[in-house]
Structure 1
């Protein structure tokens, strides 16, 4: 294809603009929705399906894979009716084993009530993780049985890519896959991903503006799936290995590890307190109103009161759930304001940039 053709240049320009505008922090849709396969539309199948769906949602919203072991959560899953407000069925071509025989399965979709789920988690002492989640840039090279190596992509039909998509959906983690267009292939190769050239990976990731990066090499050895991974979070790389009897088992261990670390950083715990937040560069009535709306809309903030207005600086008294550092991380993720260091834990300062 001739890149000099004007239509091709236009498409390339649009793709580049889309990538360059990819915001840090991505909105995860249907955070409180679950899908479960059931054998029929009976009351017992519905109750069991809703209980399973509630466990999915509680894990996704808390970021804690052990949430279902808490006694109050166990009790809630025994009587899950008050936690959801809508459900429907769809016919599928999949099957379930029922009483030792294969039966056609239906897909049960349940929409849970966000306030009820959040209240259950807080009362049980778990964190609540909002719908804005860090985007994870994926650079994964896989060795085929014939020795050839290739890079995985979002629409890749391979079982490994499919496992990542399914588990990321379950955990509420947005994945960013490389386009592998001329810009990508000009900066990084499959061999460099396999060799874990981390500096090269960082450079190639800049255009996607991810919040963190996962790069790995995967191959089958002795009937097992073996992965070697590097994960970049908070400007630091960490390395780890995984082994699974199949692709899904290996991917589960990877995604659970990432979920635990990201939830610890971004999910809001059940503690409450007051802090002072000062915002600079509030230089118009429109900006003043926009900052107020923005702060009031953040998940951990319960109440916002204006303390003082001096020039283009506005000081707010904020009642919030969680820790001040978590609020700072959340605002940094959103990129509506930039942090101005203060050296004081309960006094945060930002500059409005929107």
Structure 2
């Protein structure tokens, strides 16, 4: 049966969809930089706690971790986690650069039974459309957005810089499109504003992301509409409390799914309101980051047995390399060979996460390809088949 399965995979290989996506190895997860006013002991202690909070956020991925009692106790004893620190002057600012002990931080997460991310993280592509009155614009990775509002005739916002800062803070690689001729000829702002998954996925293909975020930011059509301008003039409370901006978002988990008949994995967030576009954007990215984190995070408190088949193991060297590769995956606790048939090997893995999270994380690696036959019926509990690329 196993031999037949592998022959089938080889014969149909040019019909099958190879599920690969872009991943980025995030470095310096256990380093942080904090701006300080002085080099006094009291200022340094506070800055060290801020730096450790930033590291916890990067390693753990969720803002809620900072409220966990075990993590809070660790922050109180921050000096025990510090490897080294130094000051540097950047323009007119003093910065404190801190390196934390990776093993001790990870142990703190274990003590809190809190999941962690590995350093290999999914590449995310963000499509951001700003609606200013009747005009809609897709923001590129190098352009500012300008809004008109009641308080000021024109306000400029550097959204690419805000996204870059958020990306560094959370350790989540986020790209924005170039919006060059290739993008403009591939997709319209109408398609992005409409959150049409297939069109957005097709246009995103050149960036090879793992997942896609679509955010709409508006000072007009997304806001609640009053029946008449007189209502707003007559209602002083409405004038005072009415928010000037609205934002909603959509998240496409599978950026590579543009060639499927049915789009799965697209979710839609509720509309949020505020007077500061930057804050609305950061809040939305935080919510989406939590969802991405839940997909990939590892939990040392979980043991799951998971069976996989791997093809193209044609030599002892390939087998040793594959076994070592599986053992070094951050989502895997233990590896056991169950059977061998031809070039196929069946393994039992003990996971630190669910099987779904394992499959999601394995897509970020380049040496194992998961194959899906688009013509085959989906069978619940079927053993996934991978192709090894030594």
- Structure 1 length as normaliser, TM-score? 0.81
Q: Does 1:225 align with 2:225?
A: no
Structure 1 segment 137-286 matched on structure 2, within 5 A: 137-144=125-132, 148-157=135-144, 158-220=157-219, 224-234=244-254, 235-240=264-269, 241-273=271-303, 275=305, 276-286=307-317
What per-residue deviation string (whole Å, max 9, x for no partner) do you get for residues 22-46 of structure 1? 9422222222222211112222222
2:107 aligned to which of 98, 119, 125: 119
Deviation at 1:299, TM superposition (A): 0.9
2:95 aligned to which of 95, 98, 107: 107
**2:47, 2:215 → 1: CA distance?**
35
Normalized per residue, the structure richer in strand is 1
Query: How many residues align structurally?
Result: 321
What per-residue deviation string (whole Å, max 9, x for no partner) do you get for residues 244-288 of structure 1? 331331122111111111111110113243634442221233422
**1:193, 1:272 → 2: CA distance?**
39
What per-residue deviation string (whole Å, max 9, x for no partner) do you get for residues 175-207 of structure 1? 122122322111112343234344321221122
Instruction: Name 1:8's counterpart in structure 2.
Output: none
SS in structure 1 opposite 2:117?
coil
Cα distance change of structure 1 residues 65 and 155 upon mapping to structure 2, 3 Å threshold: same
Cα distance change of structure 1 residues 135 and 242 upon mapping to structure 2, 3 Å threshold: farther
**Which runs of no fewer than 5 residues in structure 1 stay unpaired?**
1-21, 95-104
SS in structure 1 opposite 2:364?
helix
Quick check: 1:27–1:132 contact (8 Å CA) kept in 2? yes
Quick check: 1:63–1:260 contact (8 Å CA) kept in 2? yes
SS in structure 2 opposite 1:86?
strand
The structure whose Rg is larger is 2
**2:176, 2:304 → 1: CA distance?**
39
2:73 aligned to which of 75, 85, 91: 75
Cα distance change of structure 1 residues 311 and 27 upon mapping to structure 2, 3 Å threshold: same
Structure 1 segment 330-341 matched on structure 2, within 5 A: 330-339=361-370
Instruction: Name 1:16's counterpart in structure 2.
Output: none
Q: Which moved more, 1:330-339 or 1:113-122?
A: 330-339
What per-residue deviation string (whole Å, max 9, x for no partner) do you get for residues 143-182 of structure 1? 357x644332223354222212211221121112212232
Quick check: 2:197–2:252 contact (8 Å CA) kept in 1? no
- Structure 2 length as normaliser, TM-score? 0.74
SS in structure 2 opposite 1:333?
coil
**Which runs of no fewer than 5 residues in structure 2 stay unpaired?**
1-19, 145-156, 221-241, 255-263, 372-377
What is the RMSD of the two structures over their aligned residues, measured on CA atoms? Answer: 2.6
Deviation at 1:314, TM superposition (A): 2.5
Q: Does 1:130 align with 2:118?
A: yes
**1:191, 1:349 → 2: CA distance?**
39
Q: Does 1:325 align with 2:328?
A: no
Ranked by relative contact order (alpha carbons within 8 Å, sequence separation 6 or more), the top structure is: 2
SS in structure 2 opposite 1:128?
coil
SS in structure 2 opposite 1:327?
helix
SS in structure 1 opposite 2:106?
helix
Cα distance change of structure 1 residues 51 and 230 upon mapping to structure 2, 3 Å threshold: same
Cα distance change of structure 1 residues 242 and 223 upon mapping to structure 2, 3 Å threshold: closer
Quick check: 2:304–2:355 contact (8 Å CA) kept in 1? no
**2:380, 2:218 → 1: CA distance?**
47
Quick check: 1:274–1:317 contact (8 Å CA) kept in 2? no
Quick check: 2:21–2:363 contact (8 Å CA) kept in 1? no
